[in-house]
Amino acid sequence: MNKDQLIKIARAIVAKGKGILAADESSGTIKRRFDAIGVESTENNRRDYREMLFRTTSAMKNQISGVILFDETIRQNAKDGKPLVQLISESGSLPGIKVDKGTKPLPFCPGEVITEGLDGLGERLDEYRKLGAVFAKWRAVIDIDNGIPSYTALNTNAHALARYAALCQEHDIVPIVEPEVLMDGGHDIDRCYAITEWVLKTVFSDLYYQRVMLEGMVLKPNMVISGKKAEKRAGPDEVADKTLRVLKNCVPPAVSGIAFLSGGQSDEEATVHLNLINQMGPLPWPVTFSYGRALQHEPQTVWAGKAENVAAAQRAFAHRARMNGLAAQGQWKHDLEKAA
Ligand code: 13P
C-alpha cells in the first residue's frame, strides 16, 4: 500500500470548492432516468450523455474533483475515439469507479438488503487501476421503516463496507465509504438522526477492525433529514444542525473528507444544506458534495437526448456544479440561482 499516494488522492477529492460527480448509475438506474426524459437507454446514448458532462470544461476543471463511473463507462471511448477516462483526466479531474455489485435481499431480514461484490474484488480493483481509476465507491443501503433497520442488516452492511475499504487501500485505490440511510418513508428527522448515528458508529468501528487508514478514505454519508413522506419536514437550519452534530459525534477528524450524497433531495435543497453546514465552520474535515441526481437532474432534462440541446445542457450542468462548489465553501447565495 502506498500510503502517501492514497492520502494525496483523498485530499485532492475534497479540495477546496470541489466535489464529486456521481455518474455511476447502473444499467437499471440510467434506464429509469432516460425513460423519464424519453430517451432510449442504448450504449451510444449513455456514452453521448456522459461525454457531454465530461466535456463541460469549466465544471470539470473548477468544481469536479472526481467522477464516479460505472463499469461500462470506464471502458468506453468518446465519439472521437478518445477513452472517456482520458477525457476526465485531461480536464484535471480524477476517474473513480463503482465497484459494488448492487443489493440483494438479506436472508431472514424482510425488507432489508445487503450490498454484494466482495468476491474477487482485489482482482477487479487491479484491473480498474490499470484502466485509470484512482478511487472507488461502495454503497450500503439502510432503509428506515417499522422495525427496521435490524441489527443484522446494519452490522452486515457495515462489515462489507469496511472489508471493501481495506481491499481498496491494499490495492492503492482510495475508498469512498458510502453508508446511505434512505430518505424514503414517513419517519421524522430525529429517527434519521438516531439511525444515522448507529450506522456511522458501527461503520467506524468496523473500519478500525479492518485496519483501514482513515486519512486515505472519504466518507459519503446521507444528511440527517426527514423522510420524504413525513407529515412535517424539518427545515434547512435543522437539517444542517443535526447533520453536523451527528458527524461530529461519529467521524474522526483523521478522515480526509466528507462528500454527501443527495439521496433524492431537490437540486437546490442539496445545495442549500451543504452551504449551511459549511457556514457552521470551522469544521474538522472538508465537507463537500458527491451528488448524482442533484447535479444531473437539470442537465438531463434540458438535454432530452437531442444534439441541439447539448450546449444548453452543459450550461445547466456548469451552473449546478458552480453552485455546489460555492456551497462547499459556505459562499452560495440564493440570488446566484436567479441570476442564472
Ligand atoms: P445521489 O446524489 O443521486 O443520491 O447519488 C449519489 C450516489 O452516488 C448514490 O450511490
**Cα gap 158→219, rounded to integer Å:** 13
Which residue has its alpha carbon closest to ligand 1 atom 5?
A: 292
Q: Which has the closest alpha carbon to 141: 105, 90, 168, 176? A: 105
Q: From first to last of the 340 residues of the chain, give the pLDDT tens digit.
A: 999 999 999 999 999 999 999 999 999 999 999 999 999 999 999 999 999 999 999 999 999 999 999 999 999 999 999 999 999 999 999 999 999 999 999 999 999 999 999 999 999 999 999 999 999 999 999 999 999 999 999 999 999 999 999 999 999 999 999 999 999 999 999 999 999 999 999 999 999 999 999 999 999 999 999 999 999 999 999 999 999 999 999 999 999 999 999 999 999 999 999 999 999 999 999 999 999 999 999 999 999 999 999 999 999 999 999 999 999 999 999 999 987 6
Ligand 1 pocket member 73 (CB < 6 A): no
* Sequence-distant (≥ 6) Cβ neighbours of residue 126 within 8 angstroms: 171
Ligand 1 pocket member 261 (CB < 6 A): yes
Task: Say if residue 330 is exposed, middle or buried (CB neighbours under 10 Å; 0-12, 13-18, 19+).
Answer: middle
Question: What pLDDT is attached to residue 160?
Answer: 99
Ligand 1 pocket member 263 (CB < 6 A): yes
Among 293, 295, 298, 320, name the best residue to mutate to test ligand 1's pocket (greatest count of ligand atoms within 8 A of Cβ).
Answer: 293
Nearest atom (ligand 1) to Cα of 295:
2
Question: What pLDDT is attached to residue 270?
Answer: 98
Distance 184 CA to ligand 1 centre (A): 14
Distance 218 CA to ligand 1 centre (A): 15
Q: Which three cell numbers stand for residue 103?
A: 443489493
**Cα gap 300→277, rounded to integer Å:** 27
Nearest atom (ligand 1) to Cα of 24:
8
Distance 152 CA to ligand 1 centre (A): 24
pTM beyond 0.85, yes or no: yes
Q: For residue 23, what is the DSSP state?
A: -
Give the SS3 label for residue 149: coil
Question: What pLDDT is attached to residue 338?
Answer: 83
Q: For residue 21, what is the DSSP state?
A: E
Distance 24 CA to ligand 1 centre (A): 8
**Cα gap 160→167, rounded to integer Å:** 11
Ligand 1 pocket member 220 (CB < 6 A): no
Domains of the chain: 3-339 (3.20.20.70)
Give the SS3 label for residue 218: strand
Ligand 1 pocket member 138 (CB < 6 A): no
Question: What residues act catalytically?
Answer: 178, 220
**Cα gap 180→148, rounded to integer Å:** 14
Ligand 1 pocket member 294 (CB < 6 A): yes
- Find out whether 150 and 109 touch, Cβ atoms under 8 Å: yes
Nearest atom (ligand 1) to Cα of 139:
10
Distance 138 CA to ligand 1 centre (A): 11
Q: How many CA atoms lie within 13 A of 310 on its CB side?
A: 12
Max CA distance (Å), the chain = 53
Q: Which three cell numbers stand for residue 235?
A: 427545515
